[in-house]
Amino acid sequence: MLIEWFTPSVQHVFELVGIFFFAISGALLGVRKNFDVFGMAVLAEATALGGGVFRDLVIGAVPPIAFTDLGYFFTPLIATLIVFFLHPEVERITGAVGVFDAAGLGLFCVMGTMKAHDHGLGLTSSVTLGLVTAVGGGVLRDVLAHEVPSLLRWDRDLYAVPAIVGASIAALLIHYDALTGATSALAATTAFIVRLLAMRFGWRAPRAWNRRSTAAEEV
């Protein structure tokens, strides 16, 4: 079943754009970690496709589209080549990773919510899978790069919350039958902006109230 709000070609373009953004962030992290081109490609593929593959398995869209559409496989490889030859100066890589990751986060949380709802899930479950679609690849990327996923770090700026915001807006638009190309773009842009603001101003989620842990803080 196709998502009713868009033609298949428009949906395909949106998903490839999100894949490209996430793949760029994965490949750039590979540069920062001093990986070779193969390692960069692995991170790009995992970042771009990990969340979507998990979503498709949950909703029963098997085999996952990442394994049936060559565009989904080759787009991260193209992104890897672009980063391999044109990556920014080392001191700018961290910022670039964050911006591209935020863009992918915004696109995927909305597209994931829409696809989950299209396959019969309720709005709450659709928002959950929208979140997983957006953050799953980033979690897999960080694990492969031997880093604690940003999603779990108290000392990292808000990551899941922007995705929840974008996915929730998409769900509300679906509920009120107001989802269009323009409004879905607005939902994705909102998640993107919230993530950038969190990065800019250091917004973080609170830890446990009255926390008295003696565990050493992780640097």
- pTM for this entry: 0.83
Q: Distance between CA atoms of 31 and 12, rounded to whole angstroms?
A: 28
pLDDT tens per residue, range 52-110: 999 999 999 899 988 999 999 999 999 999 989 887 654 466 677 778 888 889 989 99
DSSP3 helix / strand / coil % (the chain, rounded to 5)? 75, 0, 25
Lookup: tokens for 185: 């773009």
The confidence score (pLDDT) of residue 122 equals: 94
Domain limits of the chain? Answer: 8-201
Q: Distance between CA atoms of 146 and 153, rounded to whole angstroms?
A: 14
Looking at residue 186, the DSSP 8-state letter turns out to be: H
CB atoms within 10 A of CB 196: 17
